[in-house]
Amino acid sequence: MNWYISIVIKYPLITAMIQFAILGTLGEFISRWIIQKKIHNPFTTLEIIWKMTEWAILAILIKYAFVGYQGFIDGLINHKYLPEISGFGRSLALSVSMNLQFGLLLVIFHRILDNLFKKDKNWENIDKGLLSLIWFWIPAHTITFMLPKPLQIGLAAIWSVALGFILGFFNRKKIKLK
């Protein structure tokens, strides 16, 4: 584990990009496997490259948000807009503020990148993506922010795999109902 932490500390953006490129794309694979009820390659090589690039770009934004929103919470505390908080309370405040501000933009930007590749204007179910900020990302990032800083981005990338599982099952149920 020490080797991982030292690499993450030395190369924070590159390691964030690599972790999200792999795990975020894996989450999309898993979602498709569950929806289609078979393990196969649901994407073309070009789509995989695009998805990995997309997740790498999102990773940079996420890494900056993780750092920036910690400063945001510090600023609110220093100006007495929030009480002195630590532990779970600080992690929750950080997660809520980040997801309800930056998270909205990230979900929309992610969809824009998806649409850009497909040359599409698909905004179907964007409301479900935005709602995932409340029911999934706020609790997930609350746990994430309780970890030491070098482990946070790695867990955030792992959460994208977990969300792939959840969305796969949700969409599979939805398809069954038709």
Convert the pLDDT of each residue in 52-103 to its tens digit: 999 999 999 999 999 999 999 999 999 999 999 999 999 999 999 999 999 9
CA angle 98, 102, 107 (to 5 degrees): 120
**Do residues 110 and 58 touch, judged by C-beta distance below 8 A?**
yes
At residue 126, φ and ψ (nearest 5 deg) are: -60, -30
40 found inside a domain: no
42 found inside a domain: no
Q: What is the structure's pLDDT at 174? A: 55
Q: Domain limits at 82?
A: 2-21+51-159
**Nearest-angstrom CA–CA distance, 92 and 112:** 28
Please determine, for residue 178, whether its predicted confidence score (pLDDT) is greater than 60: no
What single-letter DSSP state applies at residue 44? -
135 found inside a domain: yes
**Do residues 111 and 123 touch, judged by C-beta distance below 8 A?**
yes
**Nearest-angstrom CA–CA distance, 171 and 177:** 10
Q: Is 136 helix (H, G, I), strand (E, B) or coil?
A: helix
In this structure, the number of other CB atoms found within 10 A of the CB of residue 141 comes to 27
**Nearest-angstrom CA–CA distance, 43 and 55:** 15
Residue 173: pLDDT band with limits 50, 70, 90: low
Q: What is the structure's pLDDT at 146? A: 98
8 found inside a domain: yes
**Nearest-angstrom CA–CA distance, 88 and 92:** 6
pTM of the model: 0.92
In this structure, the number of other CB atoms found within 10 A of the CB of residue 126 comes to 13
pLDDT in tens, 23-62: 999 999 999 999 999 999 999 999 999 999 999 999 999 9
29 found inside a domain: no
- Compute and round to an integer the Cα radius of gyration of the chain: 17
Instruction: Compare 55 and 173 and report the one with higher pLDDT.
Output: 55
**Residue (of 96, 100, 104, 117) closest to 28 by Cα position:** 117
How many folded domains does the chain comprise? Answer: 1
